[in-house]
Chain A
Amino acid sequence: MTEILHVRDVTVRFGGVYAVQNVDLRINNGELIGFIGPNGAGKTTLMRVITGIVQPQSGRVFLQGVDITDKATHLRIRAGLALAQQIVQPLRALTLLDNVAIACGSDKTRHALKSMWVTDIRSERAQARELLARVGLSHVVDELPGTMPLGYLKRLEVARALALNPRLLLLDEPLAGLSQKEAASLADLIATLNADGQTILLIEHNLREVMRICPTLYVQDNGKSLAFGKTDQVMSDPNVRNAYLGVGHA
């Protein structure tokens, strides 16, 4: 198994407060890891360290063995990361199809000057159509995002991230705000993607769905790694139970 992501001994402080402290995390090819922890555990901060929105005070981040700690966000994406954000951010002026098509065209958008000479978008749109079908949105490809319900937009986020053809897909609370039925069906989709070989790191509050689909769990509390391992083992770990029960049943 090849290693996709390695977060090595990362620490982030905001002012005097540790948001993330000496955290280590490894993800291998083909894994689906559920990343859980109570509110304020530093989940989002670690995600931002991986995507490059937050710079760690110490520690390194490796993607497929390459140190990306000092790279700008768009270069990390080019190197094989993709992110579906917690708060859905569709491009509101573009149709759902074009929202995905622009991500499909990453070869054409790599060099800004060259992109001026290319007008053909048919193959990207065809690819985008397939991806939207895969997440179950083939019936609304020509709609604008403004008219779509949240559940659809969450799926759009996933499709757009997939369009980048990532080695590692980061999903930041994709199930948040969805009804139980919608959440279950999106979770099924995530499991299917993983079964097709996609490596995924899933940050999620919805424990029930995470435990259902993720073979491996990573738990963080108060900015520190708390547990990492097989889902049932982690969930029976007294430390993990404490962390959750300490802040009340989720």
Chain B
Amino acid sequence: MSYEITLMTTMAISVLFALSLNFITGFCGQISLGHAAFLGAGAYTSAMLSKADVPFLFTIPVAAICAAMLGAIIGLASLRVRHDFLAITTMGVGFLFVGIIRQQDFFGGEIGIAGIPSSGFGKGGFMLICIALALTFAAFSLYVRRSWMGFVFKSIADNEDVTRVLGIDVSRYKLIAFIIGTGTAGVAGALYAHHFRFVGPDSFGFVESISVLAMVIVGGIGSVWGVIFAAALLSVLPMLVQFIDDYKLLFYSGLLFAMMRFSPDGIAGLCTRLFSYIPRRVPDNGGNNR
């Protein structure tokens, strides 16, 4: 049972983290290659507070605020720059984050922070908290997509310049997407810290950023259900299939490339095409399927 609980907890945290990136990249169309930095910001905040005897639940909002503040600063700086620059700037933020953490004894340097106290809810309770948070954010995402904000996000993702000519304050919307997405990544970070009870600079590097982006893209950029599915699957796949461990990255990257090459809109896109294919076949059956 304990193994299943660990599995479920890992899944829930990955889903939350992937959905937080989906908010920025999927909804608002802003590619981020450094999203793990915000997971890290939340994880370090929560870890250090916990070590100072702050209760776990209280560290979650603080972690969210710290990550969101970092996100706001990065957002203000990078939303000014041209489209293609954003990917590189966010990637830079990822490296900068790891680079700074690594050099500061305050953050535990290379070694990181070990011995983070447990959440105090037991393994099962902690799992439920993770699942509840992931589901809450999924519901929030689905709601936002239906709202006017989601409508504007869709328009920005489609064509920023046109959206501006429609009298919409594009930078403001992008900044909000950035703050919500990075804040949520901070929450995922707090959970991460208390799940593994250890944080180190290597856990929040480029590879992590790419892995989470892979989840969003394999799931289908912008599709909440697709992203949940892909994040749940990709996060536990290496655990379930031990033999691919040594080839894990090769497998991941191969999958990612194949996805881009043959179905750039991910699993969600695949499904849509599949389902739109089936009804069109129906009339051929002579209307027999009542």
- Is A121 in contact with chain B by the CB < 8 A criterion? yes
A115-B148, A121-B148 in contact; A83/B165 too (CB < 8 A)? yes
Q: Given A91-B158, A94-B158, do A115 and B166 touch, yes or no (CB 8 Å)?
A: no
B128 interface residue (CB < 8 Å to A): no
Contact (Cβ within 8 A) A91 B155: yes
Q: Of B48-56, B71-79, B169-177, which stretch is located at the interface?
A: B169-177
| A102 on the B face (CB < 8 A) | yes
A228 to B: closest C-beta gap in Å: 27
With an 8 A cutoff between CB atoms, is B261 at the interface?
no
Interface residues of B (CB under 8 A from A): 143-144, 146-149, 151-152, 154-155, 157-159, 161-170, 172-173, 176
Taking a contact as CB atoms under 8 Å apart, the answer to whether A77 and B167 are in contact is yes
Instruction: Identify which of B152, B165, B172 gathers the most chain A CB atoms within 10 Å of its CB.
Output: B165
Shortest Cβ distance from A107 into B: residue = B148
Contact in complex: A112, B147 (CB < 8 Å): no
Q: How many A-B residue pairs have CB under 8 A?
A: 83
Write 29 A-B pairs (CB below 8 A) sorted by A numbering.
A73-B164, A73-B165, A74-B164, A74-B167, A74-B169, A91-B154, A91-B155, A93-B157, A93-B158, A94-B154, A94-B155, A94-B158, A102-B166, A105-B151, A106-B166, A109-B152, A109-B168, A112-B149, A112-B172, A113-B176, A115-B152, A116-B144, A116-B148, A119-B146, A119-B147, A121-B148, A160-B166, A164-B166, A164-B167
Whether A89 sits at the interface, judged by CB under 8 Å, is yes
B161 pairs with A109, CB closer than 8 A:
no
Is A116 a contact partner of B149 (Cβ separation < 8 A)?
A: yes
Residues of B within 8 A of A106 (CB): 166-168
Decide if A85 is an interface residue (CB 8 Å cutoff).
yes
Beta-carbon contact of B151 and A92 below 8 Å = no
Closest 4 pairs (CB-CB, A-B): A77-B167, A115-B148, A116-B149, A115-B149
Q: Of A89, A98, A164, which is within 8 A of B162 by CB?
A: A89
Across the interface, do B167 and A121 meet the contact criterion of CB distance under 8 Å?
A: no
Residues of chain A within 8 A (CB-CB) of B162 are 89-91
- Asked if A51 is at the interface of the complex by the 8 Å CB criterion, the answer is yes
Cross-chain contact B158 with A92 (CB below 8 angstroms): yes
In the bound complex, what is the Cα–Cα distance between A167 and B147 (angstroms)? 28
For the complex, give the distance between the alpha carbons of A232 and B135 in Å. Answer: 69
